[in-house]
Amino acid sequence: MPFLRTSPTDVLISAERKKELRLFEGHAGLRFRKLELLNQAFSHRSHANEAGDGVENNERLEFLGDSVLGLVVAEHLYLTLPERPEGELARIKSFVVSEESLAGIARAIRIDNFILIGKGEEHSGGRRKKAILADALEAVIGALFLDSGFKAAKKFVLRYTVPEIQKVLEDRHRKDYKTLLQELVQKRYRTYPRYNLVRKTGPDHDRTFWIEVVVDGHKYGPGEGKNKKEAEQVAARRAWEDLYDDDE
């Protein structure tokens, strides 16, 4: 059952834009009662700021969609993996709802072709940015929830996240631990991880780097790698796993 009774914005949608939105619905397997909601879900802050005239950005819808997404995935994991402990379910969920995973889903349903972004963001490659794509997907979920209710939103979420869950269970998922750690730290501590070079060894052509990551005053690692990025990933993985282990 839809929860919204009035239009989210008084801004009119052009006939051309309506055609674009209907095209997206075909890609994503959706049908909105109120296209204004879907259009708002695609409205990045940079676009809304430039457009003015009461144009709303998608951040409130993103906030709502994030909660709907989390609930649907958590319920599915709880019901389908009864033998898995809480900590393992939390780890699986963190991969599935990560920026990396959501951006991949967003690209698959061509959200990058339909988002509305400002000129500056456009020139800086905003349509390819994982954060913008992931946020827009969450906003679409929030918009669908308001437009058509929880059942429709759940069906949409499961259609695209169940394959991601299967990837995690089969260990075929991409493990970007720096992004995962940053998302976890932002939510839990309202801050960011900080990476420090502890030492480096070896000649210039064969360096080994040792890097630690600091989270909320605690040091994790150091991680070892042949370059800084590799060492940071190792340190981030140790921090991410330790932080989840602390909750068990």
Residue 43's nearest CA partner among 126, 152, 153 is: 126
**Annotated active-site residue in 66, 121, 147, 232:** 66
3-class DSSP state of 221: strand
Q: Which residues of 24-45 are buried (b: 16+ CB within 10 A; e: fewer)?
A: beeebebebebbbbbbbbbbbb
CB–CB of 235/212 below 8 Å? yes
Q: Is 66 a catalytic residue?
A: yes
Q: Is 121 a catalytic residue?
A: no
**Annotated active-site residue in 138, 147, 164, 232:** 138
Burial degree of 217 (CB within 10 A; 0-12, 13-18, 19+): exposed
Q: Which residues of 116-129 are buried (b: 16+ CB within 10 A; e: fewer)?
A: bbbeebeeeebbeb
Residue positions annotated with a catalytic role? 66, 138
